[in-house]
């Protein structure tokens, strides 16, 4: 990345914003292929930004350029926070599904003893009725 220009930096930031918007869409639509693709591209874009900031002494941005980048980064931050909420919600839903599955399977397991034999159904104890008769 030899030529660091404002346009190049702006292009990367806009790309990140677009990828985060696509990631949000993928999360909502439960599109795992799009989600994986967005994450891979985001990693590459973040690496590009990291490389730029390692060479930040080689370029100077004026106030209007800084303002423009700040506006894009504000949108990026909001998208990132929204995506975190969506991911957390998705994980909670998945956990509830797993809990339900485990509860059902553990209830079935309770029907069997440690030897794997089916427990006897509990029968009504009527010994007190028998004694009175």
pLDDT digits 0-9 by tens, 59-85: 888 999 999 999 999 999 999 999 999
CA atoms within a 13 Å half-sphere pointing along the CA-CB vector of 52 = 20
- What's the mean per-residue pLDDT of the chain? 84
Tokens standing for residue 110: 């309770």
More confident residue, 72 or 4: 72
More confident residue, 2 or 119: 119
Contact residues for 102 (Cβ-Cβ < 8 A; gap 6+): none
Tokens standing for residue 10: 């702006």
Q: How far are the Cα atoms of 4, 16, 100 from residue 55, in angstroms, in the given order? A: 9, 20, 52
Domains of the chain: 6-110 (1.20.58)
Rg (CA), the chain: 29
**What are residue 112's DSSP bridge partners?**
118
């Amino acid at each position: 990345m030899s030529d660091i220009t404002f346009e190049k930096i702006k292009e990367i930031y806009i790309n990140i914003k677009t990828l985060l918007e696509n990631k949000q869409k993928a999360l909502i639509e439960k599109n795992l292929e799009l989600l994986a693709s967005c994450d891979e591209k985001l990693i590459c874009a973040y690496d590009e930004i990291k490389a730029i900031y390692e060479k930040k002494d080689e370029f100077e941005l004026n106030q209007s350029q800084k303002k423009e980048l700040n506006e894009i980064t504000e949108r990026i931050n909001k998208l990132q926070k929204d995506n975190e909420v969506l991911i957390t919600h998705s994980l909670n839903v998945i956990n509830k599904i797993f809990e339900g599955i485990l509860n059902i399977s553990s209830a079935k397991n309770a029907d069997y003893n440690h030897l794997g034999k089916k427990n006897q159904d509990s029968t009504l104890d009527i010994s007190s009725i028998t004694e009175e008769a």
